Structure 1
Amino acid sequence: MSATPDEKLLDALSRYSSYNSTPDEALQLFEEARGVCPVAHSDELGGYHLLLDYEDVKKAHADWETFSSSPTVVLPVAPRPEFPPLEYDPPAHTPWRELVSEAFNAETPLRIEGEVRKDINKLIDGFAGRGSCDLVADFAEEVPLFALCRAIGFDENKRAEVRRLTIQILASFEDPEKGAAAFQEFAEFGVGEVMARAQDPRDDFLTKIARAELDGRPLTPMEIGQLMNSFLIAGHGTSVAGLTSLLHEVLSRPDVRQKITENPDLIPGAVEETLRLHTPFFGLYRRATRAVEIQGVEIPKDNYLLACWAAANRDPKVYDEPAEFQLDRKFSRRNRHLTFGFGLHTCPGAPVARMEMRVALEELLRRLPDVNLVDPESAKYEFQGTETAAITALPARFTPVS
């Protein structure tokens, strides 16, 4: 007897993970599953449930006592130190979050935007005379590093090393041995930078880390390394993915581009819709601290769940035409996208990410007004280690300018 469509779907879900799928395949699978099993189960990565509905994902983020971030928010489980404050719950989470908020808060974009804009223009200077570039390798991969370095205090000549270490860490998550080695290498780099500030203080966040205390004591080298890794994981790869998607959406849609060119005030709306439609990081895992039932499905204690932002952001019960890019889509408390999480662990770097995406698009269109994608239809999303989904290349051409 052949399998029924529902049985085939459940079998596909049981074999799903971001390590054996593409983002497009994943989104199609989630859409098919939504009406059949919105709380699905996969046997991959040690086994976990997938939360696909907007309200379920939101509730999982709001209830940290039931759905814990400890010991990990990414699978597979690997023997490594936690990423603070992301993988801590209260009370341990609170002092870490307060420390991170020294660097990333609502005021940070205002403080660093001018310098980031200058950095972006220097970057455009590097390829503007060529008449062509790859908007991923030559632009999008660099922009978040400018903002990260400005917010934290890394010197400009350290940017290439930060980029190398970021790519290495993201590519190593599935291999516990390589992942631990990549974590350690960046930890040592971060500790070195902080120790340098202890000897030569500046007005930057690295100096604040050198002077910071937890429970009345200085941070240990391991804790400094953990914090540096947290910034790297949260602040770079996802921002690259978000900016690349924004460039692809705007430059491949003449109507959207024309509206934005005529009214740059529409760019923040394009940023938000891009972040919803092309969620850079598909979601974080949570561990059930007790047995719990979600939509009739029993989740045993200590089982993991993927609170899937990418699926929630396309829930048709929340968004009209969820698979369509709508420049004028209205967001409110009822339907705000979950790309930056929700609740206690909402991404503190969200305001900076929004700023860098906006400024990058503003300056690119201003400096290269006829920039066009060489082959927008060929752009493909790929998973780049754990749940990060991004376009890997975006060739463009334009009239060379000096």
Structure 2
Amino acid sequence: MNQSLSVFRETGSACDSPGRPDPVALTRQVGAFDHHAPEFTPDLAHAVHHELQEEQPVARSAAHGGLVLLSRYADVRQALKDHRRFSSGAGVFCPRAPGTPYFAPLEYDPPLHTQYRDLMRPPFTSAAVRALRPELDRLVTELVSPVVAAGGGDLVEAVSVPLPLAALSLAVGFSDDAQRRIRTLTRNTWQRMPKDSHPDGFWPAFAELFDQEIRRAREHPGDDYLSELVRAEFQGRPVTDEELHVMLVAFAIAGHETTMNALSHLMWNLAREPVLHDRLRAEPHLVPHAVEETLRMWPPVDHGSRLTREDAVMSGSVIPAGSRVLLLTGAANHDPRVFDDPCSFRLDRDRPQRHLSFGFGIHFCIGAHLARAELESVLTELLRHSPLRLCGRATRRYENGRHLGFDGLPVRVADTATARRR
């Protein structure tokens, strides 16, 4: 194996792999794409993305009231950049229970988008994250060390879930009770939002939690950012509880789920590739490259959606105004027109941050600095120990048809002598 180039080839029909998706399901999804169909698994999605990218770069589906699918990097990037024609203001989740509050700032167009983003950005700047890094590193050590000491464990339960929630608490100031409840509430939201006719089955519980956090921050303010936010001005007046809700739900959900899924893929890849562990341990300056390649290969959010405000032309095809457009980030990140040998995990890619996993343009992920810091910290800590190896089935799955994660990640500590011989 050429260690400087490839350490892993992804499953799916676009790559040389023994695994192949069901050809009937592949044909059905290419012809009638539905990201909420039970058959739409991550492995099938990879094959569907490849077929669409090569044969139908601007595809159409009748699912969920009609969808237009963009799969090539140039088209997805342009749509993300052109926020005027490709609007987020009608929401980015499709389908979604009518009446579900929008998440700020992603589901707003300027000027509201800019006003929300200005309020939400301070705890996630590069300077703010640098200040958090010592405490973040301490948290990572506290989470990883027991797994190593026990000889193994489930990395999703031990690291992927608790770390982003704890880091979010450091950055924003959520209480311990909120940390305990956010993951369960998020899972319930993704299960119900696409199929319910109203948000009563998931939103009131989140709103209750946010009211509790708002009340605590007002009555017992601390030095955390939430205590500042509840006293902030918005449009020249005090911010309302409703406005706080749409910011806090974005902090709570986006602030933990995407990083949780990225961490799981990072550790999964490391635990099944002895060569990668050895290479990174010998050359730790490549850790940031490994983080970016993880984000490119397995974007934690497989796609987003936009609504066209006027006609647009992509890859020579007209997309009419009023179209619901799915931007297939997972496909764009594997576009061979941009990424040489896109199914290979490579540490030598030029411009490794070119992937679209954090978005592009005005909606570029507000928490990107914190997410990268968490991923780099975990990878650095894992490299300090004996390698971890997969010791059971690690099943990937989608939440809400687009959030790519794991149910579990069982590992054991590898015998050092055996690991060296591999």
Does TM-score exceed 0.5, indicating one fold? yes
Q: Distance in 1 between matches of 2:199 and 2:412?
A: 37
Q: How many residues align?
A: 389
* Ranges in structure 2 where 5+ consecutive residues have no aligned partner: 1-23, 416-422
Superposition map of 1:85-100 within 5 A: 85-100=105-120
1:193 correspondence with 2:213: yes
- Single out whichever of 296-305 and 143-152 deviates more from structure 2: 296-305
Superposition map of 1:126-137 within 5 A: 126-137=146-157
Q: 1:31 to 1:357 in 2, by over 3 A?
A: same
Superposition map of 1:161-180 within 5 A: 161-177=181-197, 179-180=199-200
Superimposed CA distance per residue, residues 306-355 of structure 1 (whole angstroms, 9 cap, x where no aligned partner): 111111100000010001111222216xx700000000100010110011
Helix, strand or coil at the partner of 2:251:
helix
Q: 1:268 to 1:180 in 2, by over 3 A?
A: farther
- Single out whichever of 309-318 and 160-169 deviates more from structure 2: 160-169
**Identity %, equivalent residues:** 34
Q: 1:193 to 1:363 in 2, by over 3 A?
A: same
Superimposed CA distance per residue, residues 128-171 of structure 1 (whole angstroms, 9 cap, x where no aligned partner): 44222011122211111111111011234542122222222233
Alignment match of 2:170 (pick from 122, 131, 150)? 150
Q: Would the aligned equivalents of 2:277 and 2:383 in 1 still touch at CA under 8 Å?
A: no
1:40 correspondence with 2:35: no
1:71 correspondence with 2:90: yes
Superimposed CA distance per residue, residues 230-273 of structure 1 (whole angstroms, 9 cap, x where no aligned partner): 11221111111101111111221122110111122211110000
1:298 correspondence with 2:307: no
Give the superposition deviation at 1:10.
7.3
Q: Would the aligned equivalents of 2:30 and 2:51 in 1 still touch at CA under 8 Å?
A: no
Q: Would the aligned equivalents of 1:171 and 1:385 in 2 still touch at CA under 8 Å?
A: yes
1:276 correspondence with 2:296: yes
Aligned to 2:140: 120
Alignment match of 1:324 (pick from 330, 341, 344)? 344
Give the superposition deviation at 1:365.
3.0
Q: 1:108 to 1:167 in 2, by over 3 A?
A: farther
Q: Distance in 2 between matches of 1:116 and 1:223?
A: 29
Q: 1:254 to 1:179 in 2, by over 3 A?
A: farther
Q: Distance in 2 between matches of 1:370 and 1:104?
A: 32
Aligned to 1:285: 305
Aligned to 1:25: 44
In the alignment, residue 396 of structure 1 is paired with which amino acid? V
Q: Would the aligned equivalents of 2:218 and 2:227 in 1 still touch at CA under 8 Å?
A: yes
Aligned to 1:355: 373
Q: Distance in 2 between matches of 1:178 and 1:370?
A: 47
Q: 1:225 to 1:177 in 2, by over 3 A?
A: farther
In the alignment, residue 292 of structure 1 is paired with which amino acid? A
Aligned to 1:382: 397
Helix, strand or coil at the partner of 1:124:
helix
1:392 correspondence with 2:407: yes
Aligned to 1:138: 158
- Single out whichever of 241-250 and 14-23 deviates more from structure 2: 14-23
Aligned to 1:230: 250
Q: Would the aligned equivalents of 1:143 and 1:360 in 2 still touch at CA under 8 Å?
A: no
TM-score by length of 1: 0.91
Helix, strand or coil at the partner of 2:318:
strand
Aligned to 1:373: 390
Give the superposition deviation at 1:178.
7.1
1:60 correspondence with 2:75: no
1:211 correspondence with 2:231: yes
Give the superposition deviation at 1:177.
4.8
**Cα RMSD, aligned residues only:** 2.1
Q: Would the aligned equivalents of 2:308 and 2:322 in 1 still touch at CA under 8 Å?
A: yes
* Ranges in structure 1 where 5+ consecutive residues have no aligned partner: 1-6
Give the superposition deviation at 1:196.
1.3
In the alignment, residue 159 of structure 2 is paired with which amino acid? F
Q: Distance in 1 between matches of 2:242 and 2:296?
A: 35
Superimposed CA distance per residue, residues 53-84 of structure 1 (whole angstroms, 9 cap, x where no aligned partner): 10100110111110000120010043211111
Q: Would the aligned equivalents of 1:73 and 1:286 in 2 still touch at CA under 8 Å?
A: yes
Q: 1:181 to 1:112 in 2, by over 3 A?
A: farther
Q: Distance in 2 between matches of 1:268 and 1:8?
A: 37
Q: Would the aligned equivalents of 1:136 and 1:393 in 2 still touch at CA under 8 Å?
A: yes
In the alignment, residue 55 of structure 1 is paired with which amino acid? A
Superimposed CA distance per residue, residues 276-325 of structure 1 (whole angstroms, 9 cap, x where no aligned partner): 01111012100000122322323222111011111110000001000111
Helix, strand or coil at the partner of 1:35:
helix
In the alignment, residue 399 of structure 2 is paired with which amino acid? Q
In the alignment, residue 60 of structure 1 is paired with which amino acid? A
Q: Would the aligned equivalents of 2:280 and 2:383 in 1 still touch at CA under 8 Å?
A: no
In the alignment, residue 390 of structure 2 is paired with which amino acid? L
Q: Would the aligned equivalents of 2:394 and 2:410 in 1 still touch at CA under 8 Å?
A: no
Superimposed CA distance per residue, residues 196-220 of structure 1 (whole angstroms, 9 cap, x where no aligned partner): 1111221111111111121122222
Aligned to 1:264: 284
Q: Distance in 2 between matches of 1:9 and 1:143?
A: 36
Q: Distance in 1 between matches of 2:262 and 2:190?
A: 16
Q: Would the aligned equivalents of 2:185 and 2:206 in 1 still touch at CA under 8 Å?
A: yes
Aligned to 2:6: none
Q: Distance in 2 between matches of 1:356 and 1:258?
A: 21
Q: Distance in 1 between matches of 2:383 and 2:346?
A: 20
